Amino acid sequence: MPKIHSRAATEIGQRVRAARQELGISLEDLGELSEINWTTIGKIERGASSPTVESLIRIATALEIDPGAFLTGITADMYRERLHQLTARDLINARLEQDRAAERDRARRPAE
């Protein structure tokens, strides 16, 4: 059984395969049109390989669809386990809170 890269890779691959099959073209045809080896496209379709942005754009261009169609709804949680669930907003809020705490500490100190 082939190794699955991630849930995201599986979902993207299914979308690529569906778009290719809807047009009735082979892996070899898509490989030729996208200038990507057809075996690489096969790995992408099976979810065994996570495609690069360049590959997705080349494939989407060959299929005449928006590359975003492959990525809609894909989240970081669909890839390997994340070490934390923080976002940029969380980081900014934490820094603002640190700044406020530091300001409160400075206000409590007697003037020198």
Class of domain 7-83 (CATH, top level):
mainly alpha
pLDDT in tens, 55-76: 999 999 999 999 999 999 999 8
* 8 A C-beta contact, residue 3 and residue 48: yes
More confidently predicted of 35 and 81: 35
In this predicted model, what pLDDT tens digit does every residue of 84-98 receive, in sequence order? 778 899 999 999 999
pTM for this predicted structure: 0.75
* Amino acid (1-letter code) at residue 6: S
pLDDT of residue 54: 97
User: What would the two tokens of residue 11 be?
Assistant: 């979902």
* Domain parsing of the chain, residue ranges: 7-83
Residue 66 confidence (pLDDT): 97
Residues in contact with 67: Cβ distance below 8 Å, sequence separation at least 6, in sequence order: 56, 57, 59, 60, 61
Rounded distance between C-alpha atoms, residue 16 and residue 111, angstroms:
67
Q: Alpha-carbon distance 71 to 106, whole Å? A: 48
